[in-house]
Protein backbone atom coordinates (compact mmCIF):
# COMPACT_ATOMS: atom_id res chain seq x y z
CA UNK A 1 0.00 0.00 0.00
CA UNK A 2 1.26 3.48 -0.88
CA UNK A 3 1.03 6.20 1.74
CA UNK A 4 1.51 8.84 -0.92
CA UNK A 5 -1.83 9.07 -2.67
CA UNK A 6 -2.45 11.21 -5.76
CA UNK A 7 -6.04 11.31 -6.94
CA UNK A 8 -7.57 11.63 -10.38
CA UNK A 9 -7.45 15.47 -10.24
CA UNK A 10 -3.71 15.33 -11.05
CA UNK A 11 -2.95 16.92 -14.43
CA UNK A 12 0.71 15.93 -14.53
CA UNK A 13 2.10 19.48 -14.23
CA UNK A 14 5.10 18.20 -12.20
CA UNK A 15 5.06 21.13 -9.73
CA UNK A 16 5.30 18.60 -6.91
CA UNK A 17 8.32 16.89 -8.45
CA UNK A 18 10.09 20.19 -9.11
CA UNK A 19 9.47 21.53 -5.62
CA UNK A 20 10.13 18.51 -3.46
CA UNK A 21 13.12 19.48 -1.29
CA UNK A 22 14.00 15.86 -0.64
CA UNK A 23 13.91 14.59 -4.24
CA UNK A 24 11.38 12.05 -3.05
CA UNK A 25 9.27 12.50 -6.16
CA UNK A 26 10.14 11.81 -9.74
CA UNK A 27 8.33 11.06 -12.94
CA UNK A 28 8.65 8.73 -15.89
CA UNK A 29 7.23 9.37 -19.35
CA UNK A 30 6.80 6.15 -21.27
CA UNK A 31 5.05 6.18 -24.64
CA UNK A 32 1.89 8.19 -24.05
CA UNK A 33 1.96 7.73 -20.30
CA UNK A 34 3.35 9.87 -17.48
CA UNK A 35 3.90 8.22 -14.10
CA UNK A 36 4.64 9.90 -10.79
CA UNK A 37 6.88 7.97 -8.39
CA UNK A 38 7.33 8.57 -4.69
CA UNK A 39 10.09 7.29 -2.45
CA UNK A 40 8.93 6.91 1.15
CA UNK A 41 12.47 6.47 2.48
CA UNK A 42 13.49 9.86 1.12
CA UNK A 43 10.26 11.70 1.91
CA UNK A 44 10.54 14.22 4.75
CA UNK A 45 6.75 14.51 5.05
CA UNK A 46 7.15 18.27 4.83
CA UNK A 47 3.90 18.80 2.93
CA UNK A 48 5.47 21.03 0.28
CA UNK A 49 4.05 18.93 -2.58
CA UNK A 50 0.60 19.07 -1.03
CA UNK A 51 0.78 22.86 -0.54
CA UNK A 52 2.04 23.52 -4.03
CA UNK A 53 -0.19 21.21 -6.04
CA UNK A 54 -2.56 23.46 -8.06
CA UNK A 55 -5.08 20.67 -8.42
CA UNK A 56 -5.43 19.61 -4.80
CA UNK A 57 -4.54 16.15 -6.05
CA UNK A 58 -2.18 15.03 -3.30
CA UNK A 59 -3.96 13.36 -0.40
CA UNK A 60 -1.30 14.15 2.11
CA UNK A 61 -3.37 13.00 5.08
CA UNK A 62 -2.36 9.39 4.37
CA UNK A 63 1.25 10.31 5.14
CA UNK A 64 0.26 11.81 8.47
CA UNK A 65 -2.03 9.08 9.72
CA UNK A 66 -1.12 7.79 13.13
CA UNK A 67 -1.97 4.18 12.61
CA UNK A 68 -0.60 0.67 12.92
CA UNK A 69 -0.56 -1.28 9.71
CA UNK A 70 -1.15 -4.98 9.76
CA UNK A 71 2.02 -6.74 8.63
CA UNK A 72 1.56 -10.46 9.23
CA UNK A 73 -0.38 -12.90 11.44
CA UNK A 74 1.27 -16.13 12.59
CA UNK A 75 0.04 -19.15 14.54
CA UNK A 76 1.04 -19.24 18.19
CA UNK A 77 2.24 -22.18 20.26
CA UNK A 78 0.87 -21.90 23.80
CA UNK A 79 2.00 -23.54 27.00
CA UNK A 80 0.01 -26.74 27.37
CA UNK A 81 -0.38 -26.10 31.12
CA UNK A 82 -1.31 -22.42 31.41
CA UNK A 83 -1.97 -21.35 27.84
CA UNK A 84 0.69 -18.61 27.92
CA UNK A 85 1.97 -17.85 24.38
CA UNK A 86 5.53 -19.19 24.02
CA UNK A 87 6.49 -18.59 20.41
CA UNK A 88 5.05 -18.96 16.94
CA UNK A 89 4.66 -22.38 15.37
CA UNK A 90 7.08 -21.37 12.59
CA UNK A 91 9.69 -20.38 15.17
CA UNK A 92 9.01 -23.67 16.97
CA UNK A 93 9.79 -25.56 13.74
CA UNK A 94 13.01 -23.59 13.26
CA UNK A 95 14.01 -24.31 16.85
CA UNK A 96 13.24 -28.04 16.59
CA UNK A 97 15.24 -28.29 13.37
CA UNK A 98 18.18 -26.50 14.97
CA UNK A 99 17.98 -28.68 18.10
CA UNK A 100 17.12 -31.83 16.18
CA UNK A 101 14.49 -32.81 18.78
CA UNK A 102 10.83 -32.16 19.49
CA UNK A 103 9.99 -29.70 22.23
CA UNK A 104 7.29 -29.82 24.88
CA UNK A 105 4.99 -26.83 24.60
CA UNK A 106 5.78 -25.44 28.04
CA UNK A 107 6.38 -21.85 29.12
CA UNK A 108 9.58 -21.13 31.11
CA UNK A 109 7.66 -21.29 34.40
CA UNK A 110 6.13 -24.72 33.76
CA UNK A 111 9.28 -26.02 32.12
CA UNK A 112 11.14 -25.12 35.33
CA UNK A 113 8.56 -27.03 37.37
CA UNK A 114 9.07 -30.14 35.30
CA UNK A 115 11.91 -31.95 37.07
CA UNK A 116 14.94 -32.56 34.92
CA UNK A 117 13.59 -30.65 31.94
CA UNK A 118 15.59 -27.45 31.49
CA UNK A 119 15.51 -25.56 28.20
CA UNK A 120 17.48 -27.59 25.71
CA UNK A 121 20.81 -26.22 24.58
CA UNK A 122 21.97 -25.91 21.02
CA UNK A 123 24.98 -27.96 20.01
CA UNK A 124 28.23 -25.97 19.67
CA UNK A 125 28.35 -24.20 16.32
CA UNK A 126 24.53 -24.32 15.93
CA UNK A 127 22.23 -21.35 15.96
CA UNK A 128 18.50 -20.99 15.40
CA UNK A 129 19.48 -19.04 12.28
CA UNK A 130 21.47 -22.00 10.94
CA UNK A 131 25.05 -23.13 11.44
CA UNK A 132 27.32 -20.41 12.78
CA UNK A 133 30.12 -19.25 10.54
CA UNK A 134 33.39 -20.80 11.66
Residues that bind ligand SF4 (CB under 6 A): 6, 10-16, 20, 22, 24-25, 38, 43-49, 53, 55, 57-58
User: Cα separation of 24 and 14, whole Å?
Assistant: 13
CA distance 111 to 42: 48
Tell me how far, at minimum, the Cβ of 42 lies from ligand SF4, in Å. 7
Q: Which is nearer to ligand SF4, 60 or 91 (CB)?
A: 60
Residue number with CB closer to ligand SF4 (48 or 111): 48
Q: Least distance to ligand SF4 from the beta carbon of 69, Å?
A: 18
Question: What is the nearest approach in angstroms of ligand SF4 to the Cβ of residue 9?
Answer: 7
> Closer to ligand SF4 at the Cβ: 5 or 98?
5
Nearer to ligand SF4, 13 or 82 (CB): 13
HEC string of 21-82 equals: CCCCEEEEEECCEEEEEECCCCCCCCCHHHHHCCCCCEECHHHHCCCCCCCCCCCEEECCCC
Q: Half-sphere exposure (CA, 13 Å, Cβ side) for 60?
A: 14
Least separation in angstroms between residue 29's CB and ligand SF4 is 12
Amino acid sequence: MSYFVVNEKCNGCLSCVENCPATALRFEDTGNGRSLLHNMAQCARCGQCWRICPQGAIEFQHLMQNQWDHVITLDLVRCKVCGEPIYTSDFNETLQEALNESLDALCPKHRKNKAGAPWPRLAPGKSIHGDKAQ
